[in-house]
Structure 1
Amino acid sequence: MERSDGKMRYNTQDPDGETSIQFLPTPDPKPVKKDKGKKWVVAAVVIGAAIIALVIGLLVWRFLKPTTMKKMYGGSMRITSATFQDVYEDSNSTQYQDLAGQVVSQLASMYQNSADLSKHYVGTSVEGFSEGSVIAYYLSEFNVPASQEATVDSAISTISKIRSRMANDAQSLSFDELTLSAVDSRMFQKKLTSKQKFTLHAKGDTPQEITSPGFLNSTYPSNAIILWQLRAARGNVIKLKFDTFMLDDDCSSDFVRVYDSLVEDESCLLAEKCGHYAPTEPVIFFSSGNVMLLTLVTNDEHSYPGFKAYFSQVPASTRECDADLRGSNGNFSSPEYPSYYPPSVDCLWNIEVPTGKYVKVRFLKFLLSDLGYTGSSCQKDYVTIDGQKYCGEKKDVFVVINKSNKMKVLFHSDKSLVDRGFLAEFEAFEPTNPCPDTFRCKNYRCIKPQLKCNGWNDCGDNSDEMNCICNATQISCKNGFCKSPIWKCDGVDDCGDGTDEMGCGTCQSGEVSCQNGKCISEKMKCDGQDNCGDGSDEQNCASVSVVPCTSLTYQCADQKCINKANAECDGTPDCEDGSDEANCDCGRQLFRTSRIVGGQNSLEGEWPWQVSLHIKNQGHVCGASLISDTWLVTAAHCVQDQDSMRLSQPGTWEVYLGLHDQNAKNIERVVKKYLKSVIQHPNYNEYTYDFDIALMQLDSPVTFSQYIMPICLPNPAHDFPVGKSVWITGWGKTQEDGKLAQVLQKAEVRIINSTVCNQLMSNQITSRMLCAGVLSGGVDACQGDSGGPLASLDIGRRYFLPGVVSWGDGCARKNRPGIYTRVTQFRGWIKEKTGV
């Protein structure tokens, strides 16, 4: 529109609807200029206000908008309208991509039909196909507000319950067996900057090796996720065996997961593993079908060597477990025992013993636990006998009987979280004599007659300790139980009726007893003052505080003392200077055990501080404990000169570290060392075995490994309470007058009350000695174990050294405990000589 005579114009509409143009007179030029300036100011203010409003709006939107999270769901569907082709293993093939597109479209349609899912759906990726007809594996991603997470999970659960769907047009799929489950968020966390994926197919029956990246040459990468999709030919299942396994002990840091799937489907998770496992007890898994997924996830904190595994294919037909068992006795086990049983298995054993006899099943090992087991019901994996379900982990042998000559034993595993399974034996018994020549427990377990009324619950249901007539050495409880004298006056009601704590000089009501026998008011307990005179009233308090130093307090490096006796290396910094958690690279069993080991043979690497001392050209004679990279602790009586043998001289000895089998000293993980010096305690008494301790210095430092690791030394105030379970290890004689053991042995014993021990050992026990054993006999150290460790597992999952094997009256005799040098009494001397 043209400008007209310098006048402004605007449009108006007359009553007839026609547009007319009106002209307005122009005001005086000066006022016009002034008004124009005002308008610019107003415009600037408006624009500024608008910008501020926009910023405020954006900030409000930013802080008020719902917080969203990434959710991944993994699953599978069996496509019944397609037949598997080999090209479906190639993700770059046209056939793969076409079928994958149909799967994505099918799932998208299902999600879009759900009001709770459609608005949060991001996309789906197909991760692979397998046979049967065609099984598709996929991951679906959703962006979910935190407040809607439960709603989305519920909607996904509804979809996963769809059993089948027929195609309603040429573009859709017919499918059944659809699954969907939420993927563990650790599998797709943002910090996983490195991702690798491998697809491997089994070749015949030859195992193929799988290793974590960099295995042996370097540690595995940080912040990484590595996936191995494993396949077998149709009609086969996959066997995955970890030959070497060395990851971080903390599964929240680095972990391996094994899935009975080609995708991270939590409903098909078989196991999550971390830590170290000994090569002598490999971890083995089996799939239910011909696919498996192995994953490794790492963080950025610590890296370890990783793992080496082998996978192979095994004919599925060889895994049938149904059987008819006939005869007077026999045995059976869960599929693949002692490996992990496969998922989705049902087995039935029909047991029949001769007519006229009853059948008994004894479960020697029973490991059917899982993350969701509460003990109140058996919903996942279980054994059923006569309608009664059994599951979880049974630490003791248990027996099930049937008052007929027939029994049905059923085993069921669902499709996730497998375990080691069970080992069982059955036998026929006379109805009138179920335990010939033995004692029958109420639970029908049969035990040796000498175990009845020995003060220990050998039956597992205490029936062997009921209605007993106690012998002179036992505590006769008022409720009819007999208890070992080691429990007398230890401050714990072991009888259950207080009998064992009677007549112990117990303080009156409202008072507490000090360790020195003094009684003080309960109000003085943990008040910050040493009212007992020995500091015992300031021990075991709810909070840790600085207190006056006594023999019962822990002294920090800054010389301050705290009221926590066992403060060192428990994972909690208690000293102001943090010294209680310094120098704690000790006492760790790096290898995780399978929980199935029986007998007394130890595992390789189970006791990495155990040392074998050899006289040159003569073999093993004593044990020792590694306490640093250059120092050992042993018994002084091991280094006493004998005739022509100069045992006090370092040149006499050969030292083997990391040794398990005396006949396998030349393998790579065993380290042979020589000595630089031998230091025996100057006060050692060869007649009484008092001060029976010595130190040995290696000629060069040893490198720590999963097979070689020092044990932790306790501070002088460290408390090893009466009754605590401890372990003795060594290659000593397995019985009195027997032969030395070839494989490192282990035995669990208990610390025994020193007063009782002194009575049993004819007043030969000094304050520098510690007693441990099983008073009923049968378990003890013996010749050849001398100088070796007595190991105690403490808070923080570390082993400490309360004692050194010293002496005893024979081996494993009844009421003759083993005697050990009390290491806490020599902590200062050890530090003075070694600096450790």
Structure 2
Amino acid sequence: MDPMDEGMRYTPGSSDKDWDTAVTFLPASDNKKLEKKRGPGKVGIIVGLVILAAVLALIIGLLVWHFHFRKDLKLQKIYTGSLRITNQVFVDAYENPDSAEFKNLANQVMDQLKSMYSESPELPKYYIGSRVQAFSEGSVIAYYESEFAVPVGQEAAVDRAVSSLSETYSTKVRRAQQGPLVFDHVVSSALDTRLFSKARTSTRFAQHARSSAEETIKSPGFPDQPYTPNSFVQWQLRGDPGHVLKLSFDTFYLEKNCTNDFVRVYDSLVTMDKHLMAEKCGFYSPSNPLTFISSRNVMLVTFVTNEEGNFPGFRARVTQFSRDSGELACGGKLSGSSGSFKSPNFPSYYPPSTTCQWDIEVPNSKFIKLKFPKFMVSTGSPNCPGDNVQIVGKSTLCGQQPANTMVTVNSNQVSVVFKSDSSQVDRGFSATYEVFEPSDPCPDQFQCNNKRCIDPSLRCDGWNDCGDGTEEKNCKCDASMIQCRNEVCKPMFWRCDGVNDCGDDTDELNCGCKIGEFKCKNDQCVSEKLKCDGNPDCKDGSDEDGCTRDICKASTFACNNGKCITKQNPMCDGQDDCGDNSDESSCDCGKKAYTNSRIVGGQEADMGEFPWQVSLHVKNTAHVCGASIISDLWLVTAAHCVQDDVKIKYAQAGTWEAYLGLHRQTEKQKATKRFLKQIIPHKNYNSHTYDNDIALMELDSPVTFSATIRPICLPTATDVFPTGETVTISGWGATREGGAGAPVLQKANVRIINGTVCDELMNGQITSRMTCAGVLSGGVDACQGDSGGPMSFLTNDRMFLAGVVSWGDGCARRNKPGIYTNVPKFRAWIKEKTGV
């Protein structure tokens, strides 16, 4: 029996469907009361008119509210900022918010902020008021919050107006329309909404580091108990004039999801994103501590927690040192045949608003080679608009660069300039320089055609380390390598794996098969168990030659008319193989919205390129896992994504929310959100081996398909994705091992890897329900946060769900492919549970 014919069926109700079964009909005590009267009478008419008038008044009231008062729905917007008062001198009393001096100056600042906002046509009608939070030296810097009540839909206009006004006052010394204060350097930004939740308990501390004494700050309860839930704690830290502050965490252990609990460090005394140095959560080892240095004598630390999942917390030491002490000295003139330099405070975080320039000069007739063993400078982007290192006249570097990134300069002089802006610091870089002869640019190393220098041991190892393959040409291989006829060397474990790795088939010739394997006519080896199973596991199909069996047992598709098809991937190929067109039905899937065609080593996907991609969030938190749309009600994801842990009930449908049609994680409001009705993990999922790592999710209501929301095609149970074929992976997971998730959907192409080779590389952990894919030289892979997402295979101009992101050994490591759940193995199970 077809499994879809089993179970509960829908039974039509009686024809009396309009009866309300909750109503009980009682017998009348007087039958005459049931007789129909001839008319309502005068009283009835009057009562009817009154009721009609009341109904009309109610309708009119609702319409007025909807079209008039509803327009007045307003959102609270808070902007934090700072400004420099140029005609005042800082006095110690300004540190105390209860002093008369503080209150007097604060009132003047608030008056002039109101006057400043009145210069904009947008702001006065929404302005509620301002509050000064602190003052600091230089001449006097005021830190403030300004609150606005903004009508729904006007948020962007108010953002622009506040930004424009700040730019007007940012450099020129100006006096507002009224008031005695003259100020400039006005900086402001919208406050992160996570920082002003009314449900949280708010606490503020103020501490001043004196001389060389050490101050300590710690999370509430540390170290005796976990930190308290629903808290917002601030530490306003100050140093003496002419000093900077150093904040060093000797213990840091928070929840790893920064959406829930996090610490923020500001180069300011107010929570202003333009001076946000870093946001941190998770665990940091004392051997690799978090250390931050301010650009001035102030710093703000904020700590935010949600209602659950509390951890030990943190403790940090606060010290100050003179800005002229030399501890942050950088730049200068370097000479000689070699040397080194590094960013300030390396390997800890460099301070914001810093500029360093190193002028390097080596002996005449020599050239300069720069090497960066470590390089982590801000977040980076193609044009490096924020923090960066500029090799003047040569190139500009930012972001995270590969270890030992090298730049050659065909001159004996070069300047290297490091700049950091006012926000988002990182650990910086270390650098070395050495000379080389123009005629020998890679002393003791191998020079690639692209001028890159690599270690000689990497030559002829089968991997493209140069990037242009130079070091893998004209090779003489040792006994541990495959000697290809085209003079290329390849790793021995690629021999006889069914993939032409040499490019001339050398690695696939004269292959002797192991015990329990069948030798194909093309010398490929496959398991004896695969012979006559209906699938052409040999590339030439010879494992199916001469097999006597019922053709329908080996079919790839069973037609509605009873016909059985043995053609590979017959569905949705534009040909009526069945004769009743049943192989071409249900083909509204797998099509991209547009023709344009961090996953580790990938690139940003185009909008709508993967309309079946889903972002799964634990309610009101950040992205956790991926999923794929297979119908208007069903998603496919990984079973390991929906396993409970001690803190979160991932197996419960009520824990999740699904975002469909999402491209940027910061634009969830543009996506379609659905909650879940049920989750069905595979009953044989093994949490130790990740075998049967697949689960189904039913949405609470159907989704409407659009240009950015479409299902992916499901393969048949006998579909084969050949070794060496290219597949595509996509997701918002980490763009490097141990890194943060990608804000924009990423994509990457990898290739299917032979199962026998993969099992050897993964120490025998591969089952028949797993598929291996990747780039064995490393650099491209799925990573944390991509789990549950699709591995797509293009055939017949449609994308099919070949696999589900499951597990791997790290991310993008050499010889460590990604492991994916083999979807064809679960096609019948998906049909049984969903009907799709």
Whether TM exceeds 0.5 here: the answer is: yes
- Which residue does 2:181 correspond to in 1? 173
Pairing partner for 1:188 from 181, 186, 196: 196
Cα distance change on mapping 1:392 and 1:487 into 2, 3 Å: farther
Q: In structure 2, what is the equivalent of residue 699 of structure 1?
A: none
Partner of 1:382: 388
Q: Deviations over 1:771-819 (max 9, x none)?
A: x9xxx99xxxxxxxxxxxxxx989659998999xxxxxxxxxxxxx99x
In structure 2, the CA distance between the partners of 1:132 and 1:793, relative to structure 1 (3 Å rule), is closer
**Residue 94 of structure 1, aligned match among 92, 100, 103:** 100
**CA offsets 1:686-727 (integer angstroms, 9 cap, x no match):** xxxxxxxxxxxxxxxxxxxxxxxxx962155679x999xxxx
Q: Which runs of 5+ in 1 are unaligned?
A: 1-36, 544-568, 587-710, 724-750, 778-791, 804-816, 819-836
Larger of the two Rg values belongs to structure: 1
Instruction: Please name the residue that 1:328 is paired with.
Output: 337
8 Å CA contact 2:349–2:427 kept in 1: the answer is yes
Give the drift of 1:374: 3.0
Distance 1:514 1:340 in 2: 54
Distance in 2, Cα, partners of 1:50 & 1:65: 22
- Tell whether 2:152 aligns with 1:146: yes
Q: Helix, strand or coil for the counterpart of 2:257?
A: coil
Correspondence 1:56 to 2:62: yes
Other-structure match for 2:267: 260
Whole-Å separation in 1 of the counterparts to 2:442 and 2:637: 61
2-side partners of 1:133 and 1:467: how far apart? 69
Partners of 2:638 and 2:787 within 8 A in 1: no
Of residues 351, 354, 375 in structure 2, which corresponds to 1:345?
354
- Mapped to 2, the partners of 1:435 and 1:270 lie a distance apart of 39
Q: Is the 8 A contact 2:557 2:565 kept in 1?
A: no
CA displacement at 1:395 relative to structure 2: 2.2
Going from structure 1 to structure 2, the CA distance change for 1:379 and 1:43 (only over 3 Å counts) comes to: same
Letter in 2 for 1:363: F
How many Å apart are 1:74 and its aligned residue?
A: 1.1
Instruction: Report matched runs for 1:365-444 at 5 Å.
Output: 365-370=374-379, 373-375=380-382, 377-387=383-393, 388-442=395-449, 444=451
Q: Check whether the contact 2:496–2:525 (CA below 8 A) recurs between aligned residues.
A: no
1: CA distance, partners of 2:161 / 2:299? 27
What are the superposed Cα offsets for residues 62-118 of structure 1, whole Å, 9 maximum, x if unpaired? 873244221111111110010000000000111111111111111111112211111
Amino acid corresponding to residue 91 of structure 2 in structure 1: Q
Cα deviations by residue, 1:744-770 (Å, 9 ceiling, x for unpaired) = xxxxxxx9978679999xxx99999xx
Q: Given residue 333 of structure 2, which amino acid in structure 1 is its aligned partner?
A: D
d(CA) in 2 for partners of 1:355, 1:754:
57
Contact in 2 for aligned 1:485/1:756 (Cα 8 Å):
no
Task: Confirm whether residue 69 of structure 1 aligns to residue 69 of structure 2.
Answer: no
How far apart are the structure 1 equivalents of 2:62 and 2:766? 77
Aligned pairs for 1:158-307 (under 5 A) are: 158-161=164-167, 162=169, 163-167=171-175, 171-191=179-199, 193-307=200-314
Q: How does 1:526-537 map to 2 (within 5 A)?
A: none
Where does residue 130 of structure 2 map in the other structure? 124
The residue correspondences of 1:656-695 to structure 2 (distance < 5 A) are none
1:359 corresponds, among 361, 368, 381, to 368
Question: Deviation string for 1:599-622 (max 9, x for gaps)?
Answer: xxxxxxxxxxxxxxxxxxxxxxxx
Shift of 1:171: 2.8
Q: Which amino acid aligns with 1:88?
A: Y
**1:396 to partner: Cα distance:** 3.2
- 1:35-88 deviations in whole A, cap 9, x for unaligned? xx99x9999889958964774366436873244221111111110010000000
Kindly provide the amino acid, as one letter, of the partner of residue 440 in structure 2. Answer: N
Deviation at 1:575, TM superposition (A): 10
After superposition, give the CA deviation of every residue in 1:284-331 in whole Å (9 maximum; x if it has no partner).
Answer: 111111101100111113111111111111211222312111111111
Q: CA deviation at 1:208?
A: 1.4
Q: Distance in 2 between matches of 1:571 and 1:304?
A: 27
Cα pair distance change 1:425/1:767, threshold 3 Å = closer
**2:153 partner SS:** helix
Cα distance, 1:186 vs structure 2: 1.1
Q: 1:104 to 1:712 in 2, by over 3 A?
A: same
SS in 2 for 1:175: strand
2:719 alignment counterpart: none
* Aligned partner of residue 122 in structure 2, secondary structure: helix
How do 1:488-567 and structure 2 match up within 5 A?
Answer: 505=524, 514=537, 524=556
Number of the residue aligned with 2:18: none
Give identity over the alignment, percent: 41
Distance 2:209 2:255 in 1: 29
Q: Alpha-carbon deviations, 1:612-637, whole Å to 9, x = none?
A: xxxxxxxxxxxxxxxxxxxxxxxxxx
Q: Which residue of 2 aligns with 1:115?
A: 121
Aligned counterparts of 1:259 and 1:274: Cα–Cα separation in 2: 15
- Mapped to 2, the partners of 1:166 and 1:205 lie a distance apart of 38
> CA 1:527–1:417 in structure 2 vs 1: closer, same or farther (change >3 Å)?
farther
Unaligned runs of 5+ in 2: 1-42, 510-521, 527-533, 545-550, 572-586, 589-623, 628-633, 648-685, 695-721, 725-751, 778-782, 789-804, 817-836
Separation (CA, whole Å) in 2 of partners of 1:576 and 1:347 = 49
Secondary structure class of the residue paired with 2:300: strand
Report the Cα offset of residue 360 of structure 1.
Answer: 1.0
Change over 3 Å in CA distance of 1:428–1:242 after alignment to 2: same
Shift of 1:524: 3.0
Alpha-carbon contact 1:398-1:445 (below 8 Å) kept: no
**Equivalent residue, structure 1, for 2:834:** none
SS at match of 1:117: coil
Preserved CA contact (<8 Å) 2:258 2:281: yes
Distance, in Å, in 1 between the alignment partners of 2:410 and 2:219 is 54
Secondary structure of the corresponding residue to residue 296 of structure 2: coil
Equivalent residues of 1:713, 1:800 under 8 A apart? no
Helix, strand or coil at the partner of 1:380:
coil
Q: Deviations over 1:322-367 (max 9, x none)?
A: 2111111111111110011111111011112222221111111111
Cα pair distance change 1:450/1:526, threshold 3 Å: farther
Cα distance in structure 2, aligned partners of 1:85 and 1:123: 26
* Alignment: residue pair count: 564
Secondary structure class of the residue paired with 1:245: strand
SS at match of 1:155: helix
SS in structure 1 opposite 2:159? helix
Which residue identity is paired with 2:454?
I
Contact 2:497–2:525 (Cα < 8 Å) also in 1: no
Check whether the contact 1:754–1:765 (CA below 8 A) recurs between aligned residues. no
Residue type matched to 1:80 in 2?
T
Q: Distance in 2 between matches of 1:150 and 1:84?
A: 36
Q: Provide the C-alpha distance between the structure 2 equivalents of 1:525 and 1:95, rounded to a whole number of angstroms.
A: 85
- Given that 2:723 and 2:753 are in contact with CA atoms closer than 8 Å, whether structure 1 keeps it comes out as yes
Shift of 1:410: 0.6
Question: Take 1:415 and 1:273, find their aligned partners in 2: how far apart are those partners?
Answer: 18
Question: 1:114, 1:766 → 2: CA distance?
Answer: 66
CA RMSD in angstroms comes to: 5.3
Structure 1 CA distance for aligned equivalents of residues 457 and 359 of structure 2 = 35
Contact (CA 8 Å) 2:207, 2:238: kept in 1 or not?
Answer: yes
Aligned counterpart in structure 2 of residue 714 of structure 1, from 689, 697, 700: 689
1:452 corresponds in structure 2 to 459
- Contact 1:486–1:753, Cα closer than 8 Å, also in 2: no
Contact 1:451 1:458 in 2 (8 A): yes
- Measure how far apart 1:404 and its partner are: 2.0
| Deviation sequence 1:379-410 (CA, Å, 0-9, x none) | 00111113321111112321112222211111
Secondary structure, aligned partner of 1:99 = helix
